[in-house]
Amino acid sequence: MLKQEATNLPLIADTPHIESHKNLTWQLISSLFRSKAEKPLEYEEILVKIPISEYSRLGVFLDDIYDATEGECSITFKGLTSILLADFLKQISIGLPLASLANTLQAKQNKYLKSIQSDLKQQSQNRWVLVESKVTEPRQKYKIISFHIHPKAMRRMNFLLLDLNLNDPNFSLTVEEVVTILLRDIVHEIRTKDHREIMGVFIDRLTE
Protein backbone atom coordinates (compact mmCIF):
# COMPACT_ATOMS: atom_id res chain seq x y z
CA MET A 1 0.00 0.00 0.00
CA LEU A 2 1.28 3.44 -0.87
CA LYS A 3 1.94 5.71 2.06
CA GLN A 4 -0.94 8.19 2.44
CA GLU A 5 0.26 11.55 3.72
CA ALA A 6 -1.93 14.37 4.99
CA THR A 7 -0.68 16.45 2.08
CA ASN A 8 -2.51 14.09 -0.28
CA LEU A 9 -5.83 15.08 1.25
CA PRO A 10 -8.19 17.85 0.22
CA LEU A 11 -7.24 20.14 3.07
CA ILE A 12 -8.86 23.40 4.03
CA ALA A 13 -5.66 25.36 4.46
CA ASP A 14 -3.26 23.69 2.05
CA THR A 15 -4.66 21.30 -0.53
CA PRO A 16 -2.26 20.09 -3.20
CA HIS A 17 -3.47 18.87 -6.57
CA ILE A 18 -5.45 15.64 -6.64
CA GLU A 19 -3.92 12.94 -8.77
CA SER A 20 -5.86 11.86 -11.86
CA HIS A 21 -6.43 8.37 -10.45
CA LYS A 22 -8.53 9.78 -7.59
CA ASN A 23 -12.25 9.19 -7.98
CA LEU A 24 -14.62 11.93 -9.06
CA THR A 25 -15.92 12.55 -5.53
CA TRP A 26 -12.43 13.36 -4.28
CA GLN A 27 -11.82 15.64 -7.26
CA LEU A 28 -15.05 17.54 -6.64
CA ILE A 29 -14.33 17.87 -2.94
CA SER A 30 -10.77 18.99 -3.56
CA SER A 31 -12.00 21.82 -5.77
CA LEU A 32 -13.48 23.45 -2.67
CA PHE A 33 -10.15 23.96 -1.00
CA ARG A 34 -6.97 25.78 -1.92
CA SER A 35 -3.56 24.38 -2.76
CA LYS A 36 -0.23 25.48 -1.33
CA ALA A 37 0.67 26.94 -4.72
CA GLU A 38 -2.32 29.27 -4.73
CA LYS A 39 -2.18 32.73 -3.23
CA PRO A 40 -4.24 32.98 -0.03
CA LEU A 41 -5.64 36.46 -0.80
CA GLU A 42 -8.89 35.13 -2.31
CA TYR A 43 -9.57 32.77 0.54
CA GLU A 44 -11.73 33.67 3.48
CA GLU A 45 -10.38 33.19 6.97
CA ILE A 46 -12.54 31.86 9.74
CA LEU A 47 -11.55 31.46 13.37
CA VAL A 48 -12.82 28.50 15.34
CA LYS A 49 -12.56 28.09 19.10
CA ILE A 50 -12.63 24.69 20.81
CA PRO A 51 -11.54 23.56 24.28
CA ILE A 52 -7.84 22.70 24.44
CA SER A 53 -8.75 19.33 26.00
CA GLU A 54 -10.80 18.46 22.90
CA TYR A 55 -8.11 19.72 20.54
CA SER A 56 -5.59 17.49 22.36
CA ARG A 57 -7.93 14.50 22.20
CA LEU A 58 -8.16 14.93 18.42
CA GLY A 59 -4.36 15.06 18.28
CA VAL A 60 -4.18 11.72 20.11
CA PHE A 61 -6.77 10.27 17.73
CA LEU A 62 -4.70 11.32 14.71
CA ASP A 63 -1.58 9.82 16.31
CA ASP A 64 -3.51 6.57 16.84
CA ILE A 65 -4.39 6.44 13.13
CA TYR A 66 -0.73 6.88 12.23
CA ASP A 67 0.41 4.24 14.75
CA ALA A 68 -2.34 1.74 13.88
CA THR A 69 -1.30 1.81 10.21
CA GLU A 70 2.43 1.82 11.04
CA GLY A 71 2.81 5.19 9.38
CA GLU A 72 0.94 4.24 6.20
CA CYS A 73 -1.84 6.76 6.91
CA SER A 74 -1.10 10.26 8.13
CA ILE A 75 -3.54 13.11 8.59
CA THR A 76 -3.25 16.60 10.05
CA PHE A 77 -5.81 18.40 12.19
CA LYS A 78 -6.82 20.58 9.26
CA GLY A 79 -7.00 17.51 7.03
CA LEU A 80 -9.45 15.95 9.47
CA THR A 81 -11.51 19.15 9.51
CA SER A 82 -11.50 19.20 5.73
CA ILE A 83 -12.96 15.69 5.58
CA LEU A 84 -15.65 16.61 8.12
CA LEU A 85 -16.63 19.73 6.19
CA ALA A 86 -16.57 17.91 2.84
CA ASP A 87 -18.85 15.19 4.23
CA PHE A 88 -21.18 17.86 5.59
CA LEU A 89 -21.40 19.59 2.20
CA LYS A 90 -21.93 16.24 0.51
CA GLN A 91 -25.09 15.72 2.58
CA ILE A 92 -26.57 18.82 1.01
CA SER A 93 -25.67 17.72 -2.51
CA ILE A 94 -27.58 14.44 -2.07
CA GLY A 95 -30.72 16.26 -1.01
CA LEU A 96 -30.95 16.00 2.79
CA PRO A 97 -34.23 17.74 3.78
CA LEU A 98 -33.64 21.24 5.17
CA ALA A 99 -35.95 20.72 8.12
CA SER A 100 -34.09 17.58 9.17
CA LEU A 101 -30.70 19.26 8.83
CA ALA A 102 -31.89 22.34 10.75
CA ASN A 103 -33.18 20.20 13.62
CA THR A 104 -29.91 18.27 13.80
CA LEU A 105 -27.76 21.41 13.77
CA GLN A 106 -29.92 23.22 16.34
CA ALA A 107 -29.76 20.25 18.69
CA LYS A 108 -25.98 20.17 18.40
CA GLN A 109 -25.81 23.96 18.72
CA ASN A 110 -27.60 23.70 22.06
CA LYS A 111 -25.37 20.81 23.09
CA TYR A 112 -21.98 22.24 22.17
CA LEU A 113 -22.36 26.01 21.95
CA LYS A 114 -25.23 27.31 24.03
CA SER A 115 -24.99 25.22 27.19
CA ILE A 116 -28.75 25.39 27.70
CA GLN A 117 -30.86 22.91 29.59
CA SER A 118 -34.66 22.61 29.53
CA ASP A 119 -36.71 21.94 32.65
CA LEU A 120 -40.41 21.67 33.38
CA LYS A 121 -41.52 24.28 35.90
CA GLN A 122 -44.93 24.61 37.49
CA GLN A 123 -46.63 27.98 36.95
CA SER A 124 -49.96 27.07 38.53
CA GLN A 125 -51.75 24.03 39.87
CA ASN A 126 -52.53 22.66 36.42
CA ARG A 127 -49.97 24.42 34.26
CA TRP A 128 -46.39 23.34 33.61
CA VAL A 129 -44.10 25.05 31.10
CA LEU A 130 -40.76 24.15 29.58
CA VAL A 131 -38.19 26.71 30.70
CA GLU A 132 -34.70 27.01 29.26
CA SER A 133 -31.84 28.04 31.50
CA LYS A 134 -28.15 28.56 30.85
CA VAL A 135 -25.80 26.02 32.35
CA THR A 136 -22.64 27.32 33.96
CA GLU A 137 -19.73 25.57 32.27
CA PRO A 138 -16.55 24.75 34.14
CA ARG A 139 -13.83 27.25 33.31
CA GLN A 140 -11.49 25.87 30.66
CA LYS A 141 -8.88 27.06 28.20
CA TYR A 142 -9.59 27.26 24.49
CA LYS A 143 -7.60 26.80 21.32
CA ILE A 144 -8.29 29.28 18.51
CA ILE A 145 -7.67 27.79 15.06
CA SER A 146 -7.48 29.69 11.78
CA PHE A 147 -8.79 28.13 8.58
CA HIS A 148 -8.66 29.54 5.04
CA ILE A 149 -11.57 28.30 2.95
CA HIS A 150 -12.06 28.48 -0.80
CA PRO A 151 -14.79 30.92 -1.93
CA LYS A 152 -16.77 28.04 -3.47
CA ALA A 153 -17.07 26.35 -0.09
CA MET A 154 -17.93 29.60 1.64
CA ARG A 155 -20.65 30.35 -0.90
CA ARG A 156 -22.17 26.91 -0.47
CA MET A 157 -22.09 27.22 3.30
CA ASN A 158 -23.52 30.75 3.33
CA PHE A 159 -26.37 29.90 0.96
CA LEU A 160 -27.13 26.74 2.93
CA LEU A 161 -27.36 28.71 6.18
CA LEU A 162 -29.51 31.32 4.44
CA ASP A 163 -31.89 28.63 3.14
CA LEU A 164 -32.10 27.08 6.61
CA ASN A 165 -32.98 30.47 8.07
CA LEU A 166 -35.63 31.11 5.39
CA ASN A 167 -37.08 27.68 6.10
CA ASP A 168 -37.10 28.39 9.85
CA PRO A 169 -36.66 32.01 11.03
CA ASN A 170 -35.57 30.74 14.44
CA PHE A 171 -32.55 29.05 12.90
CA SER A 172 -29.33 31.02 13.29
CA LEU A 173 -25.82 29.64 12.78
CA THR A 174 -22.58 30.94 11.27
CA VAL A 175 -20.02 29.05 9.21
CA GLU A 176 -17.66 29.24 12.20
CA GLU A 177 -20.27 27.67 14.43
CA VAL A 178 -20.94 24.85 11.96
CA VAL A 179 -17.23 23.96 11.78
CA THR A 180 -17.03 24.12 15.58
CA ILE A 181 -20.00 21.76 15.86
CA LEU A 182 -18.42 19.31 13.40
CA LEU A 183 -15.19 19.24 15.41
CA ARG A 184 -16.80 18.96 18.82
CA ASP A 185 -19.18 16.29 17.56
CA ILE A 186 -16.37 14.06 16.30
CA VAL A 187 -14.64 14.47 19.67
CA HIS A 188 -17.85 13.28 21.34
CA GLU A 189 -17.98 10.30 18.97
CA ILE A 190 -14.35 9.41 19.72
CA ARG A 191 -14.96 9.67 23.45
CA THR A 192 -18.21 7.72 23.65
CA LYS A 193 -18.16 5.18 20.81
CA ASP A 194 -15.95 2.41 19.47
CA HIS A 195 -12.56 4.07 18.96
CA ARG A 196 -11.37 1.48 16.44
CA GLU A 197 -14.53 1.73 14.36
CA ILE A 198 -14.17 5.51 14.03
CA MET A 199 -10.48 5.12 13.17
CA GLY A 200 -11.47 2.62 10.48
CA VAL A 201 -13.80 5.16 8.85
CA PHE A 202 -11.01 7.71 8.48
CA ILE A 203 -8.45 5.11 7.39
CA ASP A 204 -10.85 4.04 4.65
CA ARG A 205 -11.17 7.67 3.55
CA LEU A 206 -7.40 8.04 3.45
CA THR A 207 -6.86 4.90 1.38
CA GLU A 208 -9.82 5.02 -1.03
pTM: 0.73
Query: What is the SS3 assignment for 122-161?
Result: EEECCEEEEEEEECCCCCCCEEEEEEEECHHHHHHHHHHH
Closest to 69 measured CA to CA, from 187, 200, 197, 195: 200
pLDDT class for 149, splitting at 50, 70, 90? confident
Identify any residues that bridge with 165 across adjacent strands, giving them in sequence order.
Answer: none
- pLDDT value at 115 more than 70: no
A 10 A CB-CB count for 199 gives 18
Using alpha carbons only, what angle is made at residue 204 by residues 200 and 208, rounded to the nearest 5 degrees? 175
Beta-bridge partners for 129 = 121
Mean pLDDT of the chain: 75
Distances (CA, A) of 96 to 10, 103, 107, 152, 189: 23, 12, 17, 20, 22
- Whether residue 207 contacts residue 74, with contact meaning beta carbons closer than 8 Å, is answered with no
Alpha-carbon separation of residue 27 from 16, 139, 188, 202 (angstroms):
11, 42, 29, 18
Tell me the per-residue pLDDT of 64-112, one tens digit each, with 9 for 90 and over: 999 998 888 888 888 888 889 888 888 777 777 888 899 999 999 988 8
